Structure 1
């Protein structure tokens, strides 16, 4: 990329200031400096995102969606690094504009040179339309669209329409990889002129017994008629057709049954397939992909396993109805009987916690055992669990503890040495839980 001298000077100044801010923040242990450096550098050079992304040798890969961004991004990054590529990635999960800039700045030299092969950027679904033009991505992974923080975003069809409009303006060589099992994203891919590769499941043995309560899109996104589902895998993701207009699920590029996964939960099979489809498109050989999948470790808080005081702990991020239903499915499929639920209502979580009433907590309660609840909205969660009891004489041991450290201690105390303590926290709660368990901050 050719830049004018004045542009290089401004970029160099922005980078130098950002790196100084990063050093100060980390030296003073004020956090991970995952957002502030980008925010300040952007004031010096408003085109920072564009100027840095244009230097990425093999292109920018955007990963967008409600659930699964961090796991998918980490898996794809690991695959590419195992092939010897240098990859820039916003691994802390800071997925708004300033976070994206900070991630790129992290790999930039003092004079503003970004020497990486790929940039993998997790992008908040609400800002996708704002960053596509400056980033000019090579690949866009569209994982799913679920209700999440309705106080900020609105319904899924609003977001999908905005995505379709802006993606359609990108160059024809842009590769879009949507989830075929999500009706809104399946239609999105069918409407684009760019190269589209779908991913999805073809394993009917994993169908749910019924469509869950926390379902977001059972109507045809093309004509509005109720869809006919042959079966659903989770929420509204499944095999569907529209009896009115003929719209149906798109054909995935890969047969999901031929690809294994190492992480727990069917939702992680989607993450695996998304990363695999992208890696194959980038020319990575199948042997490297399979070897990476078989040795992959979860990102922090996403089916992450820890050992605390000799006991196994598994953290399963649970930040919306669909995600929480899936983590509950993981818990109920195990033989472990102790679960800690931590509900916060801070800005990263969404201030509206009414979504917990769309979660199938009945499945967690009816198996009995011990449920410990904590967090800023501990009594909201406790009330939800009490309403999930079908009889007054249930064998549920419900422990309500406002103090998170005490809640973790009590949950560990209730967990036998031969079992695993499952912790289901919202996003900010997950960061707090990890700090308590490991003694280290993430952000």
Structure 2
């Protein structure tokens, strides 16, 4: 704290003290997790709060950005660093806008605003990355992927990518960037950064190629020249092995061989999360034995392939908030022998109020396999209509149940789930919070 001016130190301490009082009050009254409000209030007292806290992190701040996988990847990387013996601050509640980042850092500081941690891992909403790079000056930036997410909030992926590239290029040369080689947009971003050190992660598993490019695809054109890319194979959405026949742009070589690494949790998307965290940890100098030991012992974040036991029945919650993510959770379901699925579609601000994205989801795969599909949520009938349009014939062998009341929908789905099977629940973000509260009796906000 020696480099902070005396007046800034006083204002910082006052801001943090007020924020901690707000946190105590909110949690004492059980009004929520207090993951955003304290930061919002403290920021009004000390506008430079994010910068003043970030510069105290001894080994630097790690930013994790992307459309899908931020929470799971950040939790795994946090566990790896803690196993190495580091003290780590982390916005584990998933509050990834500026106020949430500040709240997470203050959570780990004392009443005077003094932060005593080795690393801070902050998962960041993709739209605010350019806004926080300057005050945070991160040690490492982990770029996971870019997909269409909330159509009413964000622009096209190439627009976001250009903003990222422009902002990251201004950072000092000691900044480390870890980028997804299999995502053409992210890979090109990494190749454009001549000043920073860039490493790549990706898959090398042709046996997991999809049979065809799915409907939910965003970036199959060359980010350099605009020509259609040639794909050797696709793993999910536009992510795979590719090259451009026009300008020669091609996928960079990943640092780690994915075939030599096991993965956390279920689903191919979690192999990406595993490789992302492992590559970042290697760049930070963590012992590989520690990285490999952390993977099989990893516990799922709430709602991200989280498994619960409810009334003697197995339940797996798979957050499904956009086309690509939902296609991957559907792949998990269809690769199992389980016959009951609950889909919960909400349209609150955190979900995105435009739910037209469900028409880019390959729900046909769920319908084709048959079984029982229960739908609920604010937009239950939109989802039900999408499933009906997924029928290849009027004689399709699936049972569709629409239940607006979420608790009744959960009970119905549990009743239809045999004892030896797992009920898969595919909710959007706010729906996931509601589902967990209904199942566990605990709110997460």
CA distance in 2, matches of 1:248, 1:284: 30
Task: Give SS of 2:245's match.
Answer: coil
CA distance in 2, matches of 1:270, 1:135: 26
Task: Give SS of 1:267's match.
Answer: helix
CA distance in 2, matches of 1:386, 1:103: 43
| 1:62-92 deviation line (CA, Å, top 9, x unaligned) | 0000000000000000011111111100000
Matches within 5 A, 1:246-257: 246-257=248-259
CA distance in 2, matches of 1:297, 1:9: 40
Do residues 337 (structure 1) and 362 (structure 2) align?
A: no
Match of 2:55 in 1: 54
CA distance in 2, matches of 1:300, 1:440: 11
Do residues 279 (structure 1) and 281 (structure 2) align?
A: yes
CA distance in 2, matches of 1:43, 1:206: 50
Matches within 5 A, 1:349-360: 349-360=351-362
Do residues 17 (structure 1) and 18 (structure 2) align?
A: yes
Match of 1:384 in 2: 386
Task: Give SS of 2:133's match.
Answer: helix
Task: Give SS of 1:417's match.
Answer: coil
What's the offset of the Cα at 1:4? 1.7
Do residues 202 (structure 1) and 199 (structure 2) align?
A: no
Unaligned runs of 5+ in 2: none
CA distance in 2, matches of 1:335, 1:254: 32
Unaligned runs of 5+ in 1: none
Number of corresponding residues: 443
Matches within 5 A, 1:228-267: 228-267=230-269
CA distance in 2, matches of 1:48, 1:111: 12
Matches within 5 A, 1:114-263: 114-193=115-194, 194-263=196-265
- Greater CA drift, 327-336 or 185-194: 185-194
What's the offset of the Cα at 1:296? 0.6
| 1:221-259 deviation line (CA, Å, top 9, x unaligned) | 000000000000000000000000000001111111111
Match of 2:97 in 1: 96
Matches within 5 A, 1:354-369: 354-369=356-371
Match of 2:74 in 1: 73
Task: Give SS of 1:217's match.
Answer: coil
What's the offset of the Cα at 1:262? 3.1
CA RMSD of aligned residues (A): 0.5
TM-score, normalised with respect to structure 2: 0.99
Match of 1:436 in 2: 438
CA distance in 2, matches of 1:159, 1:37: 28
Match of 2:46 in 1: 45
TM-score, normalised with respect to structure 1: 1.00
Match of 1:324 in 2: 326
| 1:135-157 deviation line (CA, Å, top 9, x unaligned) | 00000000000000021111100
CA distance in 2, matches of 1:94, 1:261: 25
| 1:108-165 deviation line (CA, Å, top 9, x unaligned) | 1011100011000000000000000000000000000000002111110000000000
What's the offset of the Cα at 1:309? 0.3
CA distance in 2, matches of 1:66, 1:3: 35
Task: Give SS of 2:200's match.
Answer: coil
CA distance in 2, matches of 1:192, 1:262: 30
What's the offset of the Cα at 1:394? 1.4
| 1:314-348 deviation line (CA, Å, top 9, x unaligned) | 00000000000000000000000000000000000
Match of 1:416 in 2: 418
Match of 2:9 in 1: 8
Alpha-carbon contact 2:264-2:274 (below 8 Å) kept = no
Task: Give SS of 1:159's match.
Answer: helix
Q: Detail structure 1 runs of 4+ shifted over 2 Å in the superposition.
A: none
